[in-house]
Chains A and B, each alone.
Chain A
Amino acid sequence: MDNLLAARSTMAITLGFHIILACIGMTMPFLMVISHWIWIRKKKKIYLDLTKTWSRGVAIFFAIGAVSGTALSFELGLLWPGFMKYAGPIIGMPFSWEGTAFFVEAICIGLFLYGWKKLSPYIHWISGLLVGVSGILSGIFVVSANAWMNAPAGFDWINGQAYNIRPFEAMFNPAWISESLHMSIAALEATSFGVAGIHAILLLKKHNYEIHKKAVIIALSFGSIFAVLQPLSGDHSAKDIAVRQPEKLAAVEGLFQTQKNAPLTIGGIPDAQNQETHLGIKIPGLLSFLAFGDFDAEVKGLNEFPPENRPPVVIVHIAFQVMVACGFFLAAVGIIFWLMRWKWKEHLFSKWFLYLAAISTPLGFLAVEAGWTVTEVGRQPWIIYNFIKTADSVTPVPGQIFHLSVFVIIYLILTIVAIWLMKRQIRALNESQEEEVD
C-alpha cells in the first residue's frame, strides 16, 4: 500500500469512526432533554429513569467523540500538511467557532451529568439542552469547512499561493447550506432511529418494560420528522452538485456520456472500462428533471472531464445507492409510525412494527457513512476542488501503513469495548426495571 492510499485510509477510518460519535453527540442530548422535560412536568419516575439511562449513553459517547475529535484536529496536519498550510488561514474561522461550541458542549455536559443535586431543575434542563444545541452548532461549523473543500471560495490563487484571503466568504461558501443542512438532519435521523431500534430490539427480546416503549415513542417521534425532511434536503444537495461539481453528479449516477433527457439509474454497476453502467433500472429523463427541473435538460457525463480528474465512479455510485435506499426506508418507517400513532395506536408495539424499527437501527449510520463516501471520494482527485490534489498534500513522512494499522487496531478495540459497555448498561437497566415490576 503506498503512502497516499494509507494516509487516505487512515483519514477515512478516523473520520468514519468520529462521525458516528458526532451524530450521537448531536442528537442524544435532545432525546435526553425531551424525556427530562416530561419528567419535570409530569413527575413520572419512568421518565427520570429514561433520562438518566440516556444521559449515561451521552456521557460515554461524548467522551469517545471528544478524544477522537481531538485526534482529528491533529490528524489534519499529520496526514495533510500540504493542505493545512493553505487551508488553515482561509477556513480556520469555522474551526475557531467550532472550538467555542465544543467547549460550551463540554462544560454543559459536566453540568448536566453531575448537576442533578446541585442545580435548580430548569437550569439543569437548560444545560442539557445546550449540550445538544452546541453539538449541532459545532457540526454545522465543521461541515462548512468541508463544504469549502468542495466549493472553495474566499481567496485568490496566484502562482500556487493563496492571496487576498476573505474568511467570511470562505466559511459561507456556496456549498455550506446544502451540506450542513443535509448532515445535521442525517445526524438527528440516524441517531434517533438507532436509539429507537435498540429499545425495539429489547422489546422483541421480551424485556417488556414500559421504559422501552416510552423510549421508542420519543425517539421515533423526534427522528421521523427528520427522516421525512431528509429527501427534500437531498434533492437540494443534488441540484447544487449538478451545477457546482458536475463530475461528482456524473459519478453518483454512473453517467458516462453527456446527454439530454438523462435517465436516473437505480442500482447497477458502473463499468469504467467500457464507459457504461450495467444492470440497474433506468428511468428516462428523471435525472435531468431532478438535477435541473426539466426533463430535457442536458446533464454532463464523465466524458466531459479528463480521465485523471474523474472520481472513482464505482465506489461513489454504489455508496450513493446505499445512502438513498437507507434514507427512503427510514422515511417510510417514519410515516408508518405516525399512521400507527394516529389510527392504530393499539398496534404500535406489534411484532412486525418492532421488527421494522429494529432493522432501522444501523441504517441511518450506514447512510451517513455512505453519504460521506459520496462527498469525499466523489471529490477526488482533489482535496481542494479544482485547486490542490490530494496526492500533492499528503505528508512526506514515510511508513503511513503503520499509522493506519495502529489506528485500525485502536478504533476496532474501542468499538468492541463501547458495544460491550452498552450491553452491560442495558442489562443493568433491565434488571432495575424488573425489580420495580416486582
Chain B
Amino acid sequence: MLSIVIIFLLISVYLYCLLGGADFGAGIIELFTGKTKKERVKDLVTNAMAPIWEANHMWVIITVVILFMAFPGIYTQVSISLYIPLIILLIGVVLRGTAFTFRHYDAVHDHSQVIYSRIFAVSSLLVSFFFGLIIGALVSGKITVNPTSYFEGYLHPWINLFSISTGIFICSLFAFIASVFLVSESTDQDTRELLVKQAKLNTAIMVLSGAMVFIFSFIEGVDFAQRFFRHPASIAAIILATIALPFLWRILNKGLIWTSRIIAGAQLFFILAAFYFIYFPEVILLKEGSNISLYNAAAPDSTLKVLGWALIIGSFIIFPTLFYLFKVFKIDRSSP
C-alpha cells in the first residue's frame, strides 16, 4: 500500500506544479507585463483561470493530507525547520486567492481593481519563489533536528544561495508553463506574441537559474550536482526536457493548442522526474548526515491501507468530475 500512497503523492505534486503552477505563473506574467498591455493580459488571465483555479489549488491540500497522514515525520520536521518560509507562503496563498476573487467579483470597477491586481501579481511571485525555496531547502542538507541556535534551526535551512536559486528556478518554470497555457487562450495576435516572448524569456531565465542551482550547490556544499551526475536517468530526463524546446517553439508559432500544452506538461514531468531519480525516496536531507525518507517516515500499515483506499476511491470521484470541468471550460470551445 505504501507504493500506492507514494504514487498518489507524486501525482498530486506533479498536478499541483502543472495546474497550480500555471495559475501562479499567470500572476507572474501579469506582474511583468508593461502598462500598455496590462489590462488585456489581466482580462485574459481572469477569463482563463476563473472557472478552474479553485480546483487547481486542491492538489496542494491532497499533498498536505497525504504528508501528514502517511509521512508525519516529514510533515512535522518541515513545519518546524521551514516554519518561516511556510508562513510567508501561506500569507501569499491567502492574499492572492482573495485578491483574485475580489478583483473578479467587486461590483464596482474603480481604483481598487489596481490594488487587487497588484496584490494578486506580487503574491503570485512570492508564493512561487517560496515554494521553490522550500523544495531547495528540503535537500540542502541544512535542516537539523537538534538546532543549537535560532539561525541554525530556523533560518539557515532556507536562507542560502542554493535554496534561493531553486526559488528563482521555480518562478521561471511556473511563468513558462503559464505562458504556454495562456497563448492558446488568447484570441488577439498582439497578446499571443507577447506571451510567446514571455515563454522564451522564461526559458532563458530557467536555463540561467538552472545553471545557478548547480553552481550554488557547489558553493554551498550541497551534494545536488554530484548526485545528479551519478544518475543517468536524471541526465536523460533533463536532456529530454531541453530538446523538447525547439519543437515547442515551432508548434507555438503554428498555434497547435493541445500539442504545445502537452509538450510543456511533459517538460515539467521530465524536470520533476530528474528530481525524483536523484532523491527518491529521500525527502529531507539532514545536517546530521541522515535523512527523512518516504520509507523511514511512513505511518503504520493500517494507516497506509485506509489512506490508499481513500485515495483510490477518491480518484474515481475526482478525476471524472475534474475532467468534466475541463471539458466544459477548456475543451468545448464552440460556445462563447
Q: Do A and B bind each other?
A: yes
Residues of A within 8 A of B (CB): 56, 59-60, 62-64, 66-71, 73-78, 81-82, 84-86, 88-90, 92-93, 95-100, 102-104, 106-111, 113-115, 117-119, 164-168, 395-398, 403, 406, 410, 414, 417, 421, 424-425, 427-428
In the bound complex, residues from chain B placing their C-beta under 8 Å from that of A64 are 97-98, 101
Residue pair B78, A103 in contact (C-beta under 8 Å): no
In the bound complex, residues from chain A placing their C-beta under 8 Å from that of B154 are 397
A424 to B101, CA, bound (A): 14
Q: Which of B62, B80, B318 is in CB contact (< 8 Å) with A396?
A: B80
B193 at the A/B interface (Cβ < 8 Å)? no
A417 to B336, CA, bound (A): 32
Residue pair A95, B68 in contact (C-beta under 8 Å): yes
Q: Which of A74, A96, A108, A168 is in CB contact (< 8 Å) with B321?
A: A108
In the bound complex, residues from chain A placing their C-beta under 8 Å from that of B328 are 111, 115, 118-119
Residue pair B50, A114 in contact (C-beta under 8 Å): yes
B187 at the A/B interface (Cβ < 8 Å)? no
Which of B83-91, B157-165, B173-181 is near enough to bind chain A? Answer: B83-91
- Grouping DSSP codes into helix (H, G, I), strand (E, B) and loop, the A interface class, with mixed when no group exceeds half, is helix
Q: Which of B95, B311, B329 is in CB contact (< 8 Å) with A110?
A: B329
Q: Which of A74, A100, A108, A396 is in CB contact (< 8 Å) with B90?
A: A74
In the bound complex, residues from chain B placing their C-beta under 8 Å from that of A108 are 321
B107 at the A/B interface (Cβ < 8 Å)? yes
A49 to B73, CA, bound (A): 51
- Grouping DSSP codes into helix (H, G, I), strand (E, B) and loop, the B interface class, with mixed when no group exceeds half, is helix
**Can you list 30 A-B contacts (CB < 8 A)?**
A59-B101, A59-B105, A60-B102, A63-B100, A63-B101, A70-B94, A74-B64, A77-B78, A81-B80, A84-B72, A92-B65, A92-B69, A92-B299, A93-B310, A96-B65, A96-B306, A99-B58, A99-B62, A100-B318, A103-B55, A103-B58, A103-B318, A107-B55, A111-B325, A115-B328, A118-B335, A167-B303, A410-B91, A417-B102, A421-B106
Residue pair A60, B325 in contact (C-beta under 8 Å): no
B322 at the A/B interface (Cβ < 8 Å)? yes
Name the distance in Å between B21's Cβ and chain A's nearest Cβ.
16
Binary per-residue interface labels of chain B (100-127) against chain A in the complex, 1 for a CB within 8 Å, 0 otherwise: 1110111110000000000000000000
Closest residue of chain B to A427, judged by CB? B107
Q: Which of B54, B106, B329 is in CB contact (< 8 Å) with A62?
A: B54
A165 with B300, Cβ < 8 A, contacts A84-B75, A95-B69 known: yes
- Of B107, B302, B318, B328, the most chain A CB neighbours within 10 A belong to B107
B290 at the A/B interface (Cβ < 8 Å)? no
B28 at the A/B interface (Cβ < 8 Å)? no
Other A-B pairs, 8, CB within 8 Å; known A93-B303, A106-B55: A66-B54, A73-B65, A75-B90, A88-B299, A90-B303, A102-B61, A107-B325, A396-B80
- Of A81, A100, A111, A398, the most chain B CB neighbours within 10 A belong to A100
Q: Which of B60, B69, B93, B335 is in CB contact (< 8 Å) with A88?
A: B69
B296 at the A/B interface (Cβ < 8 Å)? no
Residue pair B105, A60 in contact (C-beta under 8 Å): yes
Q: Which of B69, B102, B302 is in CB contact (< 8 Å) with A166?
A: B302
Closest residue of chain A to B66, judged by CB? A96
Residue pair B318, A398 in contact (C-beta under 8 Å): no
Q: Tell me the residues in window 304-336 of chain B with beta carbons closer than 8 Å to chain A beta carbons.
A: 306-307, 310-311, 313-314, 317-318, 321-322, 324-325, 328-329, 332, 335-336
In the bound complex, residues from chain B placing their C-beta under 8 Å from that of A97 are 310, 314
Name the distance in Å between A138's Cβ and chain B's nearest Cβ.
10
In the bound complex, residues from chain B placing their C-beta under 8 Å from that of A115 are 328
In the bound complex, residues from chain A placing their C-beta under 8 Å from that of B318 are 100, 103-104, 107
Residue pair B54, A96 in contact (C-beta under 8 Å): no
Q: Which of A63, A89, A395, A427 is in CB contact (< 8 Å) with B69?
A: A89
A166 to B79, CA, bound (A): 26
A96 to B79, CA, bound (A): 19
Closest residue of chain B to A397, judged by CB? B83
Name the distance in Å between B325's Cβ and chain A's nearest Cβ.
5
Residue pair B79, A67 in contact (C-beta under 8 Å): no
Residue pair B107, A425 in contact (C-beta under 8 Å): yes
Q: Which of A68, A88, A406 is in CB contact (< 8 Å) with B72?
A: A88
A98 to B69, CA, bound (A): 13
In the bound complex, residues from chain A placing their C-beta under 8 Å from that of B73 are 85
Residue pair A70, B102 in contact (C-beta under 8 Å): no
